[in-house]
Amino acid sequence: MKMEFKQQTDYEHKLTWRGWLSFIFIALSFSGVLAHAGAFSAIDFQVLIGKFGKIGADTFTGKGGVGAREGFMFGLTLMPTVMFALGLIRVVESLGALLAAERLVRPILRPLMGLPGVCGLPLVSSMTSTDVGAALTRQMYDNGQINDKERSTFVAYQYAASGVVTNTFDCGAPLLAISVLPVGIILAVEIVVKIIGANIVRFYLARQEETVSEVSVEGCKA
């Protein structure tokens, strides 16, 4: 308990206005809400990474590729997105964006999915980029910021309807024109389903842990 209190005290001390400002910037950039906001679209992540040019009628990756070479070309297309995103994250992280994200969503994520507040930034980034969300989740696990059970729960959330904002507007664009529901309600339903899926995995892991504990106790008694 004393250690937990000390960590919270250090956390409160380190969080400054730079952390809040950098978190607001990165959240708006990754959320996609500024993609069509005129001059403000200049800070949107998808606008910043741009797009590849075309060679003839096709992109530089071409069509009809198979096997390892096609996989390599696909991986090559992911490099600019992931490298730029991780570099951007490193900058705002040094300014305290992760601390601001933890402060903001800590009361929400823990009861909703049993996740620490530090998952706030990957949560926001996974709305538009599955690669960035996955990379940040891996980084947090390697740094010891989340444990294996929390990682599995978080991955379950990200995997269902991955890149929910981007894919809804890109892949679902033909259906949005004939939809009887506003796009906000569609996104809300998708996010609720993602949270339900994460909790199914969460409760399954908790039940599995209880079963293992009961077996261990019975083994000790025997």
| Predicted pLDDT at 200 | 94
Mean pLDDT, residues 120-130 taken together: 77
- Write the CA distances from 35 to 24, 38, 45, 76, 80, integer angstroms: 15, 8, 8, 24, 19
| Predicted pLDDT at 37 | 77
Query: Is a pLDDT exceeding 80 seen at residue 93?
Result: no
Model pLDDT for residues 5-42, shown as the tens digit of each residue: 344 433 344 778 888 888 888 777 766 677 777 787 77
Query: Is a pLDDT exceeding 70 seen at residue 87?
Result: yes
Lowest mean pLDDT across 48-62, 169-183, 190-204: 169-183
Model pLDDT for residues 106-124, shown as the tens digit of each residue: 788 888 898 888 888 788 7
